[in-house]
């Protein structure tokens, strides 16, 4: 079964501290992994996808197939990073575009 | 410049009273999705359209139906809402299956 697990409901850090939001997945095929973000009172939006291998707003995420993980990292958190973050998986063989989401982690960056 | 619009943003209905949620898009995307997100849970796909082709998830209750009369609009109909159907309903679109999904702001449904 396809599943995405985000073990932390809430992650609270101080401004300038490193951040790592954890995401583990369960899928036997070739997955596509994404991070979506939802800022306060805004809609869900794509932050980054593993195939792009790019850094967005200072965030990076590396797909580790051996550990079935796709953790989101940022070396120095900013207050404006405070938001809800969802990890999502799409089956690489999918022809539906279906996303399977984790339950989300709220990142709180304190001044 | 809203690209995916959902109306209403908040909907209150009574137990058993049919309700329709609306989604429209200005992106001319082929694919439209409906996700259900219950409190503190992950968004879960209910069904989606590729153009006029409807694709239902196996575990979507029969109580939920959808219509897509044209490229721009997609509706979610709940025939007989139960208390367990109270949730945030998210509409999303993408140009093709493997493209980025753009989400609407959601409609929060309350069932009394």
Residue A1, pLDDT score? 78
Question: Region B61-68: what's the mean pLDDT?
Answer: 95
Of A32, A97, A101, the CB nearest to B31: A97
Residue B5, pLDDT score? 96
* B-chain residues near A100 (CB < 8 A): 42, 45
Counting the structural domains of chain A, the total is: 1
Q: Which of A37, A41, A96, A102 to mutate to test the interface with B (most CBs of B within 10 A)?
A: A96
Of B31, B42, B55, the CB nearest to A104: B42
pLDDT-wise least confident of A27-31, A71-75, B5-9, B87-91: A27-31
Domains (ranges, CATH) in chain B?
4-106 (2.60.40.10)
pLDDT-wise least confident of A6-20, A40-54, A61-75, A96-110: A40-54
Q: Which of A4, A6, A7, A43 to mutate to test the interface with B (most CBs of B within 10 A)?
A: A43
Neighbouring C-beta atoms of residue A88, cutoff 10 Å: 25
Confidence category of residue A105, pLDDT binned at 50, 70, 90: very high
Whether B90 has a pLDDT exceeding 70, the answer reads yes
Question: Region A14-20: what's the mean pLDDT?
Answer: 97
Residue A21, pLDDT score? 98
CATH number of domain containing A14? 2.60.40.10
- Give pLDDT tens digits for B34-54: 999 999 899 999 999 999 999
Question: Region B21-37: what's the mean pLDDT?
Answer: 96
- Give pLDDT tens digits for A38-92: 999 899 999 999 888 788 899 999 999 999 999 999 999 999 999 999 999 998 6
Residue A52, pLDDT score? 82
Residue B15, pLDDT score? 96
String of b and e for B35-61 (b: at least 16 CB within 10 Å)? bbbeeeebbbbbbbbbeeeebeeeebe
Q: Which domain holds residue A56?
A: 3-110
CB contact under 8 A, A44 and B103: yes
CB contact under 8 A, B42 and A103: yes
Interface residues from chain A to B (CB-CB < 8 Å): 4, 9, 32, 42-46, 49, 86, 90, 94-104
* A-chain residues near B101 (CB < 8 A): 46, 97, 99
Neighbouring C-beta atoms of residue B90, cutoff 10 Å: 25
Whether A94 has a pLDDT exceeding 70, the answer reads no
């Amino acid at each position: 079964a396809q599943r995405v697990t985000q073990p932390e409901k809430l992650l609270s850090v101080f401004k300038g501290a490193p951040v790592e939001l954890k995401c583990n997945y369960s899928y036997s095929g070739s997955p596509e992994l994404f991070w979506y973000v939802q800022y306060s009172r805004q809609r869900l939006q794509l932050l980054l996808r593993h195939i792009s291998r790019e850094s967005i707003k200072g965030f990076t995420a590396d797909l580790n197939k051996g550990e079935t993980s796709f953790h989101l990292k940022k070396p120095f958190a900013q207050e404006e990073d405070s938001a809800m973050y969802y990890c999502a998986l799409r089956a690489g063989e999918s022809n539906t575009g279906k996303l399977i989401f984790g339950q989300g982690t709220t990142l709180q960056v304190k001044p | 410049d809203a690209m995916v619009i959902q109306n209403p943003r908040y909907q209150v209905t009574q137990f058993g009273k049919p309700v329709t949620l609306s989604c429209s898009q200005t992106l001319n995307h082929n694919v439209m999705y409906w996700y259900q997100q219950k409190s503190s849970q992950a968004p879960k796909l209910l069904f989606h359209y590729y153009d006029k082709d409807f694709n239902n998830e196996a575990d979507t209750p029969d109580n939920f139906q959808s219509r897509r009369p044209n490229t721009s609009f997609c509706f979610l109909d709940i025939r007989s809402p139960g208390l367990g159907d109270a949730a945030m309903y998210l509409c999303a679109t993408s140009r093709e299956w493997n493209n980025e999904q753009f989400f609407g702001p959601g409609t929060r449904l309350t069932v009394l």
